[in-house]
């Protein structure tokens, strides 16, 4: 993105993605940028099935969004997501991140624009 449209557009795009994520969450949930173009969403008091619903909703919102329109662009996005839960998939914060990261890379290296769920694999597109 930065190579094509410049760093200002890239920064604006990340901000818009952050706002979109936050708008989809409850007050008890947390979302933050983890690095580069990666975001982490924490969903307390949420089952794995409920988390899959949230991830699917986020994926669909990203798919259907047109970003940076105020800058004269209509950028479209696709997301590779990884999902892991406590305590079923991992016992520590580091292990949860590692599991979710593994699932995200499974998606990136196969279908892209999908959700990988720890102990379940890839979701149906």
Beta carbons within 10 angstroms of residue 84's beta carbon: 23
Determine the pLDDT at residue 7.
73
Is the pLDDT at 21 greater than 70, yes or no? yes
Handedness of CA 99, 125, 63, 25 (dihedral sign): negative
| pLDDT tens profile 29-78 | 999 999 889 999 999 999 999 999 999 999 999 999 999 998 899 999 99
Cα(118)–Cα(36) distance, rounded to whole angstroms? 23
In a domain, residue 61? The reply is: yes
Q: What range does the domain containing 86 cover?
A: 2-118
In a domain, residue 28? The reply is: yes
| pLDDT tens profile 67-92 | 999 889 999 999 999 999 999 999 99
Give me the CATH number covering residue 73: 3.30.70.270
pTM: 0.91
In a domain, residue 94? The reply is: yes
Across residues 9-14, what is the average pLDDT? 93
In a domain, residue 125? The reply is: no
Domain count, the chain: 1
């Amino acid at each position: 993105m930065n190579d094509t449209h410049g760093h200002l557009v890239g920064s604006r795009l990340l901000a818009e993605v952050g706002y979109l994520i936050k708008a989809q969450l409850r007050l008890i949930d947390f979302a933050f940028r983890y690095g580069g173009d990666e975001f982490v969403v924490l969903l307390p008091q949420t089952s794995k099935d409920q988390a899959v619903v949230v991830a699917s909703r986020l994926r669909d919102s990203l798919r259907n969004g047109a970003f940076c329109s105020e800058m004269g662009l209509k950028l479209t996005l696709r997301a590779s997501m990884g999902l892991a839960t406590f305590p079923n998939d991992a016992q520590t914060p580091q292990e949860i991140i590692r599991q979710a990261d593994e699932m995200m890379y499974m998606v990136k290296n196969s279908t892209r624009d999908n959700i990988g769920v720890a102990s379940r694999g890839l979701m149906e597109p």
